[in-house]
Amino acid sequence: VYRDLREYLQLLEEIGELKHVRGAHWDTEIGVLANLVAARRGPALLFDEIVGYPKGYRVLTNSINNSRTMGVCLGFGPVQSDRELVLKIVENLPRWRRNLIPPKEVKSGPIFENVRIGDEVNLYEFPAPVWHEKDELNGNRVRMLGTGCAVITMDPETGWVNLGAYRNQIFDKNILGVEFRTGRHGAIHRDKYWSKNQPIPVAISLGHDPLFLIFSGMEIAPPGISDYEMIGAIKGEPVEVVKAPITGLPVPANSEIVVEGFQYPDTKRVQEGPFGEWAGVYSHGERGTFKVEAIYYRDDPIILGMPPGKPPACNEMYLLITWRSALIHEALINAGVPNVKGVWCHESGNSRLITIVSIKQSYIGHSRQAGLMTSQCGPGAYANKYVIVVDDDIDPTNMYDVLWAVATRSDPATSIDIIRRTYSSKSDPLHEAIHEYEKHLFGKDPVIGGTDKAGRWVNCPGSVAIIDACIPFELKEFFPESCEPSLETKKKVMEKWPELFS
Ligand SMILES: Cc1cc2nc3c(=O)[nH]c(=O)nc-3n(C[C@H](O)[C@H](O)[C@H](O)COP(=O)(O)O)c2cc1C
C-alpha cells in the first residue's frame, strides 16, 4: 500500500488532502488549529518551522480525519462517505483477521539515522506541543510528546508483542509518562514482569504511518495476536522491525522517532496534566513514569499528533467513531443479531457515550435485542450511556433522521429501558465531578469511584438508556408513510432549478 509515513503523505498530497503549515507555535497554536480543522473533517496538517525549533522538526495532525484519508490509510483509496467507510471496514475485517502476516526482522533501518544515548537524551529537542490552552500545572505547561503513539511491550512468557496508544507527557529531559491502565494489554505484560519484581521493557514509537495508530489506539487485535500481524494483513506484506538496542523490543524500522527504557515496579507516580480529554473536559490523575535510556530518530523527524478535545474539535474523534462503529457492527454479527444495517458511534459522545444502531426489523423483540447487545458488547460497553435503535430507512450517521425517528416513532413510557450498574469510566465528566464532590465532603477518596485498598482505581457504576426508536414491529403495516420526496423526484427538480441549490 505504502511503505511508511512519508510515502503515505505523498499519497495524501496527490489527492489534495495534505496542507503545509509554517510558523505555528508548539504552545497551543498547533493544537487549536489541528482541532478546529478536525471539526470540519479537513485535510492532514503538516506543521514545519515550528517556533523555536529547527526547520524539519515536524508535527503531523489530522492524518486520518475524514473518509478520504482514512480510506487511503486502509488501502481502499479515497472513500466518499462515513457510512460507506464503516461498511467497508466491516466487510474487510474477517479477511484481515484471517490473513495475519507476522513482522519481519531486518538488521537496520532509517530509525537509526540519529542516535542519542544516556546523558545525550533530551526530550525537549522535539517540538512536543501543549495541545490545549489550560494544559498547565503550577505554572508549568504540559508538553505531551506522545498522543498518536504506539507503546510497544512484550509478554515475557509467550513473546506476544503489543502496541498500545498510552500517551506520554514530558516530565523532564529524560523522563516520560506512561500509564498501563488496568484492562489494557500493556498492563497484562506489566503485571507479569512486576509480579516477579522485574522492570517492564518499554519502547515507544512517536511517529509512524497512522495504520500503526489505528491498531495501537483501538481494541481490534485480541490478546495474544500482535497488532503488527494485523497491520501486515492490511498492507499485504510484513511490517519491517528492528531490535531496539537496549530493550531488545521489535520497533518499526521506518518509524520517525523511537524511545526506549524500563518501567520499574516502584515507578515514580506523578500528577499528569491537566489535559483536555476525549469527553471534552480537562482531566487529571496520577501516571507512571520511566527513564528514557535512548532516542533514535530519522533526519527531519515527524511526531504523529492525535490530541483529544471537545468534539467535534477533536483529532482522535474520527478514528474512534468510525472504528468503534465497525467493531460494534462486527460484534453484533458475531453475537447472532440479524439484519444489522449500520452502526454509528456519534461524534458528541466521542464514540463512547452515544451509539446508534440501524436494523431491518425481523421479529418482535429484535430492536431491544440489538439495543441491549450494542450497549454491552466488548467494543461498545465501556462508558456507554445511550443507545438509540432505528429502522433501516434511517441513516444512523444523520442526527436529524435519528432524532426524527426518536420523536415520531418512540413512546417515552414504553420505548426506553434503563440498565443499571454498568461499565463506566473515570473520564465521564459526571463521574469525575461526583468523585471530587465526595472527596470535598469526606476529605478522602470514596470507595466507589475512587481507589481500592491496593490503590487501584475503581470506577463508579454507570447506567445505560436504550431508546427503541423503531416503529413497533406489529404496527409497521399501519404506520403512516414518510412524506419525504423520493430521491428520483428530488434529483429531477434540483436539476431543473440548479441555481436554488448551488
Ligand atoms: C489517540 C489515542 C490516544 C489514547 N490515549 C490513551 C491513553 O493515554 N491511555 C490509555 O489507557 N488509553 C488511551 N487510548 C485508548 C487505548 O489506546 C485503546 O484502548 C487501545 O485499544 C489500547 O491498546 P490495547 O488494547 O492493546 O491495550 C488512546 C487511544 C487513542 C486513539
Summarised one tens digit per residue, pLDDT across range 170-221 is 999 999 999 998 889 999 999 999 999 999 999 999 999 999 999 999 999 9
- Ligand 1 center to residue 408 CA distance, Å? 38
- Ligand 1 center to residue 147 CA distance, Å? 9
Residue that is written with C-alpha cell 522485574 in the block: 198
pLDDT of residue 40 exceeding 80, the answer is yes
pLDDT of residue 431 exceeding 90, the answer is no
- Ligand 1 center to residue 180 CA distance, Å? 9
| Ligand 1 surroundings by CB, under 6 angstroms | 147-148, 162, 164-167, 181, 184-186, 216-219, 306, 316, 319
Query: Measured from the CA of 218, which atom of ligand 1 is nearest?
Result: 21
- Ligand 1 center to residue 489 CA distance, Å? 47
Which grid cell is 252? 518499526
- Ligand 1 center to residue 409 CA distance, Å? 37
Q: Whose CA is nearest to atom 9 of ligand 1?
A: 166
Sequence letter at residue 147 = T
Residue among 7, 22, 18 at smallest CA distance from 55: 22
> Across-strand partners of 296?
115, 258
Contact 351, 432 (CB under 8 A): no
- Ligand 1 center to residue 15 CA distance, Å? 30
> Across-strand partners of 137?
140
Mean pLDDT of 364-384: 97
Mean pLDDT of 309-316: 97
What pLDDT, on the 0 to 100 scale, is given for residue 256? 98
Which residues, in sequence order, are CB contacts of 139 under 8 Å at separation 6+? none
- Burial label for 498, CB within 10 Å (0-12, 13-18, 19+), is exposed
Residue that is written with C-alpha cell 496538517 in the block: 45
What pLDDT, on the 0 to 100 scale, is given for residue 456? 65
For residue 455, what pLDDT band results from cuts at 50, 70 and 90?
low
Query: Measured from the CA of 316, which atom of ligand 1 is nearest?
Result: 1
Residue among 385, 387, 462 at smallest CA distance from 431: 462
Model confidence over 62-102: pLDDT tens digits?
Answer: 999 999 999 999 999 999 999 999 999 999 999 999 999 99
Contact 68, 78 (CB under 8 A): yes
What pLDDT, on the 0 to 100 scale, is given for residue 199? 97
For residue 426, what pLDDT band results from cuts at 50, 70 and 90?
confident
Q: Whose CA is nearest to atom 25 of ligand 1?
A: 219
Locate the DSSP E strands across 166-312. 168-172, 175-177, 200-207, 240-243, 250-252, 257-263, 270-276, 282-287, 289-297, 302-304
Which residues, in sequence order, are CB contacts of 271 under 8 Å at separation 6+? 137, 284, 285, 286
Terminal Cα distance for the chain, rounded? 37
Which residues, in sequence order, are CB contacts of 405 under 8 Å at separation 6+? 388, 390, 391, 394, 469, 470
Ligand 1 pocket mutation pick from 155, 214, 216 by most atoms within 8 angstroms of CB:
216
What pLDDT, on the 0 to 100 scale, is given for residue 326? 98
Ligand 1 pocket mutation pick from 166, 321, 322 by most atoms within 8 angstroms of CB:
166
Contact 146, 163 (CB under 8 A): no
CB-CB neighbours of 353 under 10 Å: 21
